[in-house]
């Protein structure tokens, strides 16, 4: 594959990464660096005002371009939750599309545009295309879907602006088959489910370097009977289901310790009250439960907590991929998760944990007892597959797959032009 000049439209959370103790950059940055290391030129249209000269020199082949019109705010501030509710005439989207046009004209020509679409980046590219801007073939990479919950089941918003982004994309890359299958919610008369399927490829999420570096070392023994809930405290991650399951386990009265990482990620008063009530019920109920609420932790502490655990629990009601699941596996720990988690087929394929239905505290309690059983082979299987996972989900490995899709997309574009 010849060297490409690639424009990357992506939001990088520098401040959040640093607060979490991640100094090597987030997964988007690390994947972009890995693509550049394969010989391609990646020019980043960054939305983070903190990506200054230090980061520019440190990341070498990448070049960061910032919007000169508003350096005090993130490039697309204000749209994270509002953009799906606004009409496409919303001026902020159009001003950002104009900035994209100027960027492409100033730094081009580019072979392709790579747009991250969990934020409005793909929408900005689509609006630019509707404005008549000459875009190179556009790959839209989708990590997250827009939905709410109704009685524990995800309800997708098929009317969001994602449809417009998908319509203008030359190719769509989803981070799991679960996401690829659910893109059909965005189909309509102009963008059929068949067209979506033809455009869509699957490329799993790459891992943070902190986890990869630790995973290259020996796997330490766990603390017997220690169960870790690894995730944020919200409805999506199944935090309430985890608490509900604890008193139903045989492990709790036998001295097991249940630890929970994560903090609230949503301003949701109803959930906060449900959480408070659930914690009180666990702490004052007839079954004695050892519960540790660890709050938000850094990457270093998250690694330590996974290593301490005998089993890691990720009972999400819906999760597009779950990088946390892979992080637990590369550190050699068995996982309990649900069949509505995009990475769950790996748990079943390698027999390194238990996959249960979502929103089922009885099934979760049984799974915890099963995973903690001394004769269970889940821990041994997790340790045996750890180093394989380490290499499969490294940014360098994911970058090679992504470049294959770049090549495929450009070949398709050339055929259409001829």
Identify which has the larger pLDDT, 231 or 311.
311
Q: What is the pLDDT at residue 54?
A: 36
Q: What is the pLDDT at residue 258?
A: 97
Using a 10 angstrom Cβ sphere, with 0-12 exposed, 13-18 middle and 19 or more buried, the burial of residue 95 is middle
Q: What is the pLDDT at residue 76?
A: 41
Q: What is the CATH number of domain 5-206+395-417?
A: 3.40.50.2000
Q: What is the pLDDT at residue 71?
A: 35
pLDDT in tens, 72-109: 333 344 443 344 344 444 445 666 777 788 888 888 89
Nearest CA to 121 out of 102, 134, 139 is that of 139
Separation between Cα atoms, residue 92 and residue 77, nearest integer Å = 9
Identify which has the larger pLDDT, 250 or 92.
250
Cα–Cα distances in Å, from 162 out to 117, 129, 147, 178, 385?
8, 14, 12, 17, 36
Q: Which of 49-53, 159-163, 266-270, 395-399 has the lowest mean pLDDT?
A: 49-53
Q: Which of 15-19, 30-34, 286-290 has the lowest mean pLDDT?
A: 15-19
Strands 147-150 and 153-156: antiparallel
The per-residue b/e assignment along 296-308, b for 16 or more CB within 10 angstroms, e otherwise, is ebebeebbebbbb
Q: What is the pLDDT at residue 51?
A: 47
pTM comes to: 0.86
Q: How many residues does the structure list for the chain?
A: 418
Under the banding of pLDDT at 50, 70 and 90, the label for residue 68 is very low
Cα–Cα distances in Å, from 369 out to 341, 355, 365?
21, 13, 6
Under the banding of pLDDT at 50, 70 and 90, the label for residue 270 is confident
DSSP category for residue 84: G
Q: What is the CATH number of domain 209-392?
A: 3.40.50.2000
Query: What are the contacts of 362-370 at 24+ separation with CB within 8 A?
Result: 362/245, 362/248, 364/241, 364/242, 364/245, 364/313, 364/315, 364/336, 365/245, 365/246, 365/248, 365/249, 367/336, 368/227, 368/245, 368/249, 368/251, 368/256, 368/311, 368/313, 368/336, 369/249, 369/250, 369/251
Mean pLDDT of 223-231: 95
pLDDT in tens, 311-356: 999 999 999 999 999 999 999 999 999 999 999 999 999 999 999 9
Residue 292 has φ and ψ, to the nearest 5°, of: -115, 120
Q: Which of 162-166, 257-261, 376-380, 400-404 has the lowest mean pLDDT?
A: 162-166
pLDDT in tens, 153-202: 888 876 667 788 898 899 999 999 999 999 998 888 888 999 999 999 99
Percent of the chain whose pLDDT exceeds 70? 82
Q: Which of 69-73, 285-289, 333-337 has the lowest mean pLDDT?
A: 69-73
Q: What is the pLDDT at residue 111?
A: 95
Q: What is the pLDDT at residue 82?
A: 44
Q: What is the pLDDT at residue 156?
A: 84
**HEC profile of 87-137:** CCCCHHHHHHHHHHHHHHHHHCCCCEEEEECCCCHHHHHHHHHHCCCCCCC
Q: What is the pLDDT at residue 72?
A: 37
Q: What is the pLDDT at residue 48?
A: 58
Q: In 273-379, at which residue ranges do the beta strands (DSSP E only) sit?
A: 290-295, 311-314, 335-338, 353-356
Q: What is the pLDDT at residue 269?
A: 79
Residues forming beta bridges with residue 8, ordered by sequence position: 44, 114
Please determine, for residue 47, whether its predicted confidence score (pLDDT) is greater than 90: no
CB 259 within 8 A of CB 230: no
Cα–Cα distances in Å, from 107 out to 7, 93, 94, 104, 110?
9, 21, 20, 5, 8
Q: What is the pLDDT at residue 417?
A: 67
Q: What is the pLDDT at residue 152?
A: 82
Using a 10 angstrom Cβ sphere, with 0-12 exposed, 13-18 middle and 19 or more buried, the burial of residue 149 is middle
Strands 112-116 and 138-142: parallel
CB 332 within 8 A of CB 219: yes
Identify which has the larger pLDDT, 150 or 378.
378
Nearest CA to 260 out of 222, 292, 290 is that of 292
Please say whether the dihedral angle defined by the alpha carbons of residues 300, 302, 303 and 307, taken in this order, is positive or negative: positive
Separation between Cα atoms, residue 415 and residue 413, nearest integer Å = 5
CB 93 within 8 A of CB 131: no
Identify which has the larger pLDDT, 371 or 68.
371
Q: What is the pLDDT at residue 361?
A: 96
pLDDT, the chain, mean: 84
* 5-206+395-417 and 209-392 share one fold: yes
Q: Which of 59-68, 174-183, 236-245 has the lowest mean pLDDT?
A: 59-68
What does the domain layout of the chain look like in residue ranges? 5-206+395-417, 209-392
Using a 10 angstrom Cβ sphere, with 0-12 exposed, 13-18 middle and 19 or more buried, the burial of residue 94 is middle
Q: What is the pLDDT at residue 291?
A: 94
Strand order in the sheet with 171-174: 63-65, 41-46, 5-10, 112-116, 138-142, 171-174, 200-202
Mean pLDDT of 202-219: 91
Separation between Cα atoms, residue 383 and residue 387, nearest integer Å = 8
């Amino acid at each position: 594959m010849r060297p490409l000049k690639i424009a990357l439209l992506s939001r990088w959370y520098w401040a959040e990464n640093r607060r979490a103790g991640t100094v090597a950059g987030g997964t988007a940055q690390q994947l972009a660096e890995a693509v550049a290391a394969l010989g391609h030129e990646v020019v980043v249209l960054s939305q983070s005002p903190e990506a200054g000269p230090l980061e520019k020199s440190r990341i070498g082949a990448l070049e960061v371009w910032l919007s000169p019109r508003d350096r005090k705010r993130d490039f697309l501030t204000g749209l994270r939750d509002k953009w799906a509710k606004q009409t496409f005439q919303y001026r902020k989207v159009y001003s950002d599309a104009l900035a994209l046009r100027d960027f492409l004209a100033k730094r081009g020509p580019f072979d392709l545009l790579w747009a991250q679409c969990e934020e409005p980046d793909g929408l900005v590219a689509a609006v630019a295309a509707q404005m008549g801007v000459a875009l190179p073939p556009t790959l839209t990479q989708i990590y997250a879907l827009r939905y709410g919950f109704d009685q524990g089941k995800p309800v997708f918003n098929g009317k969001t602006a994602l449809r417009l982004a998908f319509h203008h994309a030359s190719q769509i890359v989803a981070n799991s088959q679960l996401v690829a299958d659910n893109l059909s919610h965005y189909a309509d008369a102009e963008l059929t489910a068949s067209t979506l399927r033809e455009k869509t490829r699957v490329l799993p999420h790459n891992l943070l370097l902190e986890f990869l570096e630790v995973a290259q070392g020996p796997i330490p023994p766990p603390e017997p009977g220690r169960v870790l809930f690894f995730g944020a405290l919200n409805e999506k991650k199944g935090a309430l289901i985890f608490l509900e399951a604890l008193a139903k386990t045989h492990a709790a009265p036998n001295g097991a310790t249940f630890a929970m990482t994560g903090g609230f990620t949503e301003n949701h008063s109803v959930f906060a009250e449900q959480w408070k009530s659930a914690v009180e019920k666990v702490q004052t109920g007839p079954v004695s439960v050892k519960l540790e609420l660890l709050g938000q932790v850094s990457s270093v502490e998250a690694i330590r907590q996974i290593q301490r655990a005998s089993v890691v629990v990720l009972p999400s009601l819906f999760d597009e991929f779950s990088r946390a699941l892979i992080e637990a596996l590369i550190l050699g720990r068995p996982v309990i998760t649900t069949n509505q988690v995009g990475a769950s087929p790996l748990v079943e394929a390698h027999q390194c944990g238990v996959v249960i239905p979502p929103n089922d505290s009885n099934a979760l309690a049984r799974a915890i007892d099963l995973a903690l059983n001394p004769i269970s082979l889940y821990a041994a299987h997790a340790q045996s597959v750890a180093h394989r996972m380490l290499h499969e989900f490294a940014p360098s490995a994911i970058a090679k797959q992504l470049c294959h899709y770049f090549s495929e997309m450009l070949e398709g574009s050339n055929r259409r032009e001829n």
